[in-house]
Structures are given as C-alpha cells and as structure tokens.
Chains A and B, each alone.
Chain A
Amino acid sequence: MRMRNKLTFVGAGVCVLLLAGCATIPNPISQSEVYGVENGYGVAQSAAVGYAALPRCPAGQNTSLANVCSQHGVIVQLARADAKARIALNALEAFARNPKNYPGLSFGALLATAQSAISTLQQIESTNQIGA
C-alpha cells in the first residue's frame, strides 16, 4: 500500500512537471535579435523620412540626381507600408518580450508577417531609389 502511495505521489509529481513544461512557451528568438531587427527597420524608416522631407517634385517630374525631390504618391505608399510594418514589429516585439502572454500565437507567422511588411517598405524605397 505504501508502495502504491509512493507511485501515486511520484506520478502526480511527474504530471505537474509535464504540465509546467507545457505551460512554458519556448522562445525561439532572443529579445536582442528582435531589437536588432527593429533597429534595422529604423534605418530603412529614416531613409523614408528623409525622402519625405525633400521638396515635392513639380508635376510630371520624377526624382533624379539633377532634380532632388519627393513625390507625394510615393510618400503615401511609404507611410502605409510603415504603418503595417510597425504593427507587425510591435507584435513581434511583444511576443519576444513576453511569449507567455501569447500562448496561441505562432512565432514563425509573426516573424514572416514582419519580414513581409519590412520588405514592402524596402521595395518601395528600392523602386524609387530612396536611400540608395
């Protein structure tokens, strides 16, 4: 009987440990990596802000070396891309800092969304030779 009690006790302990293990969400990325990603995005964002600070191009003229200016339509695109990227990065940061708060979220999906949003902004910059 004692042996049975012992086994029950040990079994209960193992169950508790297993449950505790399940409750701990493994963090597949370090906070410093997300911090690096966000700072890297900040560099790209700075180029966009610098572009927006240029005088607007006259109608029918594009940005060139001989005509350093910005186009309103491109700024609107950059602002939209930035807004999306910030939402994605904020979610990624929140997850990286406190993964236990988001047990239902997939880190891979968050990272993919953030990367996609960042590359959208970079694509707009590349197309319009911003920060080149």
Chain B
Amino acid sequence: MNLSSIEDAAKHLESSAAGALSGLASAVGPIDLVKVEQLVLDIISAAPAIQAAEQSALPFVMAIVQMVQNGGKSPSDEEWDALAARLDAGSSALQNAANEPDPNVQQVGQEPVTEPNLETTNEPQSEQTNPVFEGAQ
C-alpha cells in the first residue's frame, strides 16, 4: 500500500465518520453540553468503584484460567484457602454495606427521634432493630 492509497483511505474514513456524526446529531437533536458534562462527571466519580469491582473480579478470572491451563487438576489446599478468603472478603463487604443505615430513611426519620420516646417504648429489642421508626411513631 502506497502513501496515496493510505491518504485516500484516511479521507474516506474521515468523511464516513463525519457523515455518521452528522447523522447521529440529526437523530438525537441538539446536544445538551451541560447534560453531557454531568454524565461524564458522574461516570468519572463512579470509576473508582467500577475499577475496584474489576480488580476484585480479576483473581477469580485468573484462577479459572489457571485451572484450565493446569488441565483441570484438582486445586491445592492453598488455592482453596485463597478462594475462600476472596469470597469471604466480598461477603463481608456486602454485609457491612447492607448493615449501614439507609441514608434516605435516616433523613426522614431522624428528627422525631427523642430520648423520652425511646425510653417509654420499654422494648429494648425493638429499639435496637429500628429505633428510627419507634421514635417516629
């Protein structure tokens, strides 16, 4: 391939891309730059969590690849232990997140909660399980 044919191919690609972009623009209408910017910012702010998920998934994928490469040989005790440790870490992270109070419920219910109300309920178990709603009532 000589230089002119490369240039021709580049021009062709450029015109195709321009055509595709103008077609897209006419299809979606005028682009709201503020919305696009916000979308990009949201995705960037979520990137660490997404990246962390990818990184934590990687050892599982690598273990499968290694198992296939080993021809399906039974895993060693160390490999079983490492797998259990990884899964335990994930389960703990999920349980901890689930045990965190729901910020939306807190915002609604925190104000009515007062100590006298909690004391008059005289039900320690219900106070522990859901003090916010006890107080709200």
Residues on B with beta carbons closer than 8 Å to the beta carbon of A38: 83, 87
Q: Is the CB of A31 within 8 A of B74?
A: yes
Closest chain A residue, CB of each to CB of B59: A42
**What is the 8 Å Cβ interface bit string for chain A, positions 24-40, against chain B (1 contact, 0 not)?**
00000011110110111
Closest chain A residue, CB of each to CB of B39: A66
User: Helix, strand, loop or mixed for chain B's interface?
Assistant: helix
User: Helix, strand, loop or mixed for chain A's interface?
Assistant: helix
**What is the 8 Å Cβ interface bit string for chain B, positions 37-78, against chain A (1 contact, 0 not)?**
011001101101110111011011101100100101111000
Bound Cα distance from A48 to B52, whole angstroms: 11
Residues on B with beta carbons closer than 8 Å to the beta carbon of A73: 102
Bound Cα distance from A9 to B62, whole angstroms: 55
Is A110 among interface residues, defined by CB-CB distance under 8 A? no
Closest chain B residue, CB of each to CB of A54: B49
Q: Is the CB of A32 within 8 A of B72?
A: yes
Given contacts A56-B103, A56-B104, A65-B39, contact A39 B64 (CB under 8 A): yes
Is A52 among interface residues, defined by CB-CB distance under 8 A? yes
Bound Cα distance from A80 to B95, whole angstroms: 8
Given contacts A50-B50, A53-B52, contact A68 B43 (CB under 8 A): yes
Which residue numbers of B lie inside 8 Å of A, CB to CB? 35, 38-39, 42-43, 45-46, 48-50, 52-54, 56-57, 59-61, 63-64, 67, 70, 72-75, 79-80, 83, 86-87, 90-91, 93-95, 97-98, 100, 102-105, 107-108
- Selected contact of B46 from candidates A47, A68, A97, A131, CB within 8 Å: A68
Q: Is the CB of A76 within 8 A of B98?
A: yes
Which residue numbers of A lie inside 8 Å of B, CB to CB? 30-33, 35-36, 38-43, 45-56, 58-59, 65-69, 72-73, 75-76, 78-80, 82-83, 86, 89, 93, 97, 131
Bound Cα distance from A130 to B31, whole angstroms: 27
Within the complex, the shortest CB–CB distance from A97 to chain B, in Å, comes to 7
- Residue pairs across A and B with Cβ atoms less than 8 A apart, 23 shown, are A33-B72, A35-B83, A36-B64, A39-B61, A39-B64, A39-B67, A43-B60, A45-B87, A45-B94, A46-B57, A49-B90, A49-B94, A50-B54, A50-B56, A52-B93, A53-B97, A54-B49, A66-B35, A72-B102, A73-B102, A80-B98, A82-B90, A131-B53
